[in-house]
Amino acid sequence: MPEIVLEHVTKRWGSFYGVDDVSLQIPDNSFITLLGPSGCGKTTILRMIAGLETPTSGKITIGGQVVYDSSTGINVPPNRRNVGFLFQNYALWPNMTVYENIAFGLKNIRRDGRKLTKQEIDDRVEAVSRVVKIGMFMDRYPAELSGGQQQRVAIARTLAPEPQVLFMDEPLSNLDAKLRLEMRYELQRLHVETGSTFVYVTHDQMEAMTLATKICLVNNGVLQQFDAPMTVYDRPANTFVGDFVGNPSMNFVEAKGTAYEDGEISLSLLGDKRAVFCPNEPVDIRKWQSERDEKEKIFREHEKERFSKKGAVEKSNKDELFAYHVQKVDEFTVNDSEGRLAVTQDDFVLGIRPEDLHLGTNEGIPVTVYGSMPTGMESTLKLRTGDYLLTVVVFGSTMFTIGEEKKMVADGKDVLLFDRTSGKLICAGALKFRLSEN
């Protein structure tokens, strides 16, 4: 199956950039999810690869063949790109049986200069119906099928012409939660059995995490991160990625820090608390900040040059620093983002996953149970420390009472240190609370 390459692909409407200078290399036989909030540009990327949307500029290659190139005027129509498309709306013909729906597209296909024979069509319909397990429904009409069965028919119809790439635009969003989970397993199995390249659009991070070999996370038309699911989860490129991926969401804690020669960073955080951050790998904070400033300078120069070219239009939907949320007891205090005007090089943001905070030890900082939501195998807690709230996931069937006093520690080496100026990830490490000043 083919590799898909996007080179500096842009799509804009007037001065609004739906997709802004995206470059991607999608390996063959991969399952890629395009993930992001509504309106971020993920469906537009999908439609441009499929040929349903014409890019403003850039180059797209599928299996070594250039299907779009703004510089040479190449624009191969969708029906010649050998791709399949599965929509959110199944779009089944209500007056046709399951067999007729699957066979419909095959009747217009030409192989070796001729149309397929009835026997060839029958063989192909039988083969794909066996893959998606709907062989017993061939004589039924769509109205006689459940939502999951209709989805399988739509998948079979898309697979029948043997596309080299299969595009899916939120195909499971119309199903209930239980059926959606079952269909995720089916899509995983289909990907392995067909050997096709799957490109899947979703705003559901759970679908992205469970299905993808790689996640392409997009915001405001800009590619934020393109990595394996667990890399996106454990090492998000910036605060936006950290906040978007994960349920419950990541805890963000603002901190002021002083870096020492041994690599440790002494932090003041959560009001009057003190802690030490120990990076997993040695990191020179000042050197990292200097490199950040240099990269930003190069980026600004590149953008200036890009928009100075003939025909270029400045972006009206400007890219802004992500406004992460610091949980507080009183949410009506001054907005956290206002404090960023006075950000210094000693200002950082800690990103702590709820499962990396632990209770029940005799050590740690004192906290009060502010809220508790048990779900059986785990409980999600809101813990209060001073004026701040932290979300914690506790595994097991332990019951907690609101107002209960506990001690909390940060465990493991997956606490993330973000740069407050740019929102980018600096490093991961361990966080140790200091119980008293030394």
**What is the pLDDT confidence band of residue 337, given thresholds at 50, 70 and 90?**
very low
Give the model's pLDDT for residue 15: 92
pLDDT average, residue stretch 289-310:
90
Res. 338: pLDDT tops 60:
no
Q: Are 338 and 345 in contact (CB under 8 A)?
A: no
Beta strands in 165-285 (DSSP E): 165-169, 197-202, 214-219, 222-227, 251-259, 265-269, 273-279
> For a pLDDT cut of 70, what percent of the chain falls above it?
97
pLDDT tens per residue across span 135-192: 899 999 999 998 888 888 988 888 888 888 889 988 887 777 887 888 888 888 888 8
Residue of 314, 319, 221, 318 whose CA lies nearest to 19: 221
203: pLDDT strictly greater than 50: yes
* pLDDT: which is higher, 8 or 310: 8
pLDDT reported for residue 436: 58
d(CA 22, CA 7): 7
- Give CA–CA dist 168/157, Å, rounded: 13
- The pLDDT mean for the chain works out to 89
How far apart, in whole angstroms, are the C-alpha atoms of residue 68 and residue 20? 16
pLDDT at residue 24 in the model: 94
What's the whole-number mean pLDDT along residues 396-408? 88
Q: How confident is the model at residue 414 (pLDDT cuts 50, 70, 90)?
A: very high
Q: Which residues contact 205 (CB under 8 A, 6 or more apart)?
A: 35, 244, 245, 246, 247
Contact indicator for 172, 151 with CB cutoff of 8 Å: yes
396 vs 323, residue with greater confidence: 323
Report whether the peptide linkage leading into residue 2 is cis, meaning its omega lies within 30 degrees of zero.
Answer: no
- Reported as a single tens digit per residue, the pLDDT across 91-113 is 899 999 999 999 988 887 777 77
| Least-confidence region, from 18-32, 108-122, 223-237, 295-309 | 108-122
Given a cut of 60, whether residue 438 has pLDDT beyond it is no
Q: What is the pLDDT confidence band of residue 398, given thresholds at 50, 70 and 90?
A: confident
Whole-model pTM?
Answer: 0.88
